[in-house]
Structure 1
């Protein structure tokens, strides 16, 4: 229940589709979008960090990755997402990261379905490396529930 309350605080009003282990599935209506979302495993130290996989039916977008980083990223630091044996370089701003294209979004979701954990790694503005870790138990169910809610 704490997960649901924490995730609801991330944005405005929304419909809860379901909670699956550490992942939640939600639906917004204006504009219509559905998403699976989780906070890093170490929530107490991670502030506003989260990772979501969203579908925007009105835009023809499905399974789009978005990551809110736990720390501000250094200007030239790479952001890497690691899921199992797969590594993906993300496009990033100071606080946010996303897949560079739809093909990478799809590959990340496939890697999430096969993995037990996922990490997002970078270097902060002070030059200190950081890792935001996510448990993937419940991720596939949350992604599927969110996708179905926006068909």
Structure 2
């Protein structure tokens, strides 16, 4: 059910999605018409106030030559000048971001994040919102590696 909420949040009007599987709290999906494949998960529940349901997605667009792009939909809009930070496996990586979204700075950072996700138990994205209040979105990574692999394989023939 939670993954259904994510799909509703990221759905395009006429995009068909094929499920490639559910793995722990992560799902893998394929949009055949684009084509694109992605692994996606909702952030863990939080008692902090949220403007929207946050999620993390790792996407592949084979026709564009893009693979394992990292994207976070944040629980709040980030403030002007605020820099989202990803904490994973003892690393702190400053992400690019605006509005309610954050992403890696480049392909090298995408690769580092995906590699860290394969061995970490969780990851956290933190930032300050427009009122200067800190917020954190936490993700459990059980199943993430398998979902990312399923998404990559789902677009391997495109």
Task: Give the TM bin, normalised by the shorter chain.
Answer: over 0.9
Structure 2 unaligned blocks of 5 or more = none
Identify the residue that residue 64 of structure 2 maps to in structure 1.
59
**Residue 14 of structure 1 corresponds to which residue in structure 2?**
17
TM-score with structure 2 setting the length: 0.90
- 1:82 & 1:143 partners in 2: Cα distance? 19
Q: 1:150 aligns with which of 148, 151, 155?
A: 155
CA contact (8 A) 2:3 2:41 kept: no
The residue that corresponds to 1:93 in the other structure is 98
TM-score (norm 1): 0.94
Unaligned ranges ≥5, structure 1? none
CA contact (8 A) 1:7 1:24 kept: no
1:87 deviation in Å?
1.4
Give the RMSD, CA atoms, in angstroms: 1.4
> What is the rounded CA distance, in whole Å, between the counterparts of 1:140 and 1:66 in structure 2?
16
Pick the aligned partner of 2:28 from 9, 19, 25. Answer: 25
Q: How many residues in Structure 1 have an aligned counterpart in Structure 2?
A: 150
| 1:102 matches 2:101 | no
SS at structure 2 position matched to 1:38: strand
**Matched residues in 2 for 1:23 and 1:3: separation?**
10
CA contact 1:14–1:27 (8 Å) conserved in 2: yes
The runs of 4+ residues in structure 1 deviating greater than 6 Å are none
